[in-house]
Amino acid sequence: MLPFSLVRGRDLAGLAACCILVGLALIALMAPWISPQDPLAQNRTDQFLSPSLRHLFGTDEFGRDILSRVIHGARISLVTGAVAVLIGATVGVPLGLLGGFAGGLTDAAIMRVLDFLLAVPAILLAMVIIAILGPGSFNAMLAVGAVSVPSFARLTRASTLTLKEREFVVATRALGVGPAYLMFRTILLNAATPIVVQIAVTGAVAMLLEAALSFLGLGTQPPAPSWGSMLNAGRSFLYQAPWYGLFPGIVITLSVLSLNALADALQTVVDRSGAGRAAGPERTA
């Protein structure tokens, strides 16, 4: 279990990251019950109130409570991260497995397409996908998911290539099992550790990308509270309400910092166990 390995390894940063992420997940889960006010409730008389006991993070241009919006925004950010990673892994892992296992023309074809996808900076690729699908929260998730496919596929392919020559795989093959069993039971289970690290890395990149897309007005649309779109709105009122641009940014940075630290900690645990190394997708936001 990861927490125990972290305690044993005295990995304070990793432990802190775990706590922050669990805290964020809890906040996201319980958002409707713990947020002090309705994140969408407008109150014209409360415009741009600075942080106080009644509004800990202040209010925005419509008099909405920023703390409540940040709490509800955690849901959007975490859900986007999770959905994007899920898409990336469910498409990327089988692709990499297939390419590495089949080799030859199949492998070459898959790799060339991935090369092309990697040649376009992640956020630009996501923007192109949104240009086709149209702006919106769900389309942003799809775009971010699609962008994370290549890193999963490449990682899985690399592990598959080394694993398929190992004795236990050759032995299993000699027993006469089919290729599907070999790929998904024998090889995939043994390639799982670096993929888990990759999930943490991709999660961080995905949250950042979603925030960047919403910041540009291409992701979650107002009035839904998303950290990126809050920053975008706050940008116009920096002078009247500096807190508007501060708090959502602090939360984004904290979550990305934690996910990065968690990925490092996981990598240390994986290194100790002797499995392969995960390759991070390029952060381009």
Partner 1 sequence: MARYVLFRLIQLLPVLLLASVGVWLMIYLIPGDPAVALLGPDVTPEQIQRTRARMGLDRPLPVQYALWLGRVVQGDLGVSYLNGLPVTTMLAQRIPVTLQLTVASFVVALAIAAPFGIASAVRPRSWIARGVTGYNALAMAVPTFWLGILLVLCFGLWLRWLPTSGFVPFWQEPGRALRFLILPAFTLGAYVSAVLARFTRAALLETLYQDYVRTARAKGLGERPVIGVHALRNALIPVVTVVGLQFGAFMGGAVITEAIFDYPGLGRMLLQAILTRDYTVVQGTILFVVLAFVVINLLTDLAYALLDPRIRYS
Binding site for partner 1 (CB under 8 A): 112-113, 115-116, 119-124, 127-128, 130-132, 135, 208, 211-212, 215-218, 228, 231-232, 234-235, 238-239, 242, 245-246, 249, 252-253, 256-257, 260-261, 282-285
Closest to partner 1 by CB, 35 vs 229, is 229
Computed on alpha carbons and rounded to an integer, the radius of gyration of the chain in Å comes to 21
Query: Quick check: 238 and 46 in contact, CB under 8 A?
Result: no
Do 214 and 220 form a contact (C-beta atoms < 8 A)?
yes
CB of 179 to partner 1, least distance (A): 28
Least distance CB 32 / partner 1 (angstroms): 27
CB of 283 to partner 1, least distance (A): 7
In terms of CB distance, is 93 or 261 closer to partner 1?
A: 261
Residue closer to partner 1, measured from CB, 93 or 285 = 285
Least Å distance between CB 255 and partner 1? 9
CA dihedral 270, 273, 277, 280 (to 10 degrees): 0
| DSSP letter assigned to residue 219 | S
Q: Return the sign of the alpha-carbon dihedral for residues 256, 202, 88, 268.
A: negative
Q: How far is the CB of 226 from partner 1 (least distance, A)?
A: 13
Tokens of 152: 């999963």
In the complex with partner 1, which residue's Cβ is closer, 17 or 183?
17
Residues 6+ apart with CB under 8 A from 28: 71, 74, 75, 77, 78, 79
**Which residue type is seen at 207?**
M
Our CA angle for 154, 202, 8, nearest 5°, is 105
Alpha-carbon torsion 242, 248, 253, 258, what sign? positive
Is the Cβ of residue 96 or residue 135 nearer to partner 1 in the bound state?
A: 135
CB closer to partner 1, 58 vs 169: 58
Shortest distance (Å) from residue 116 CB to partner 1: 5
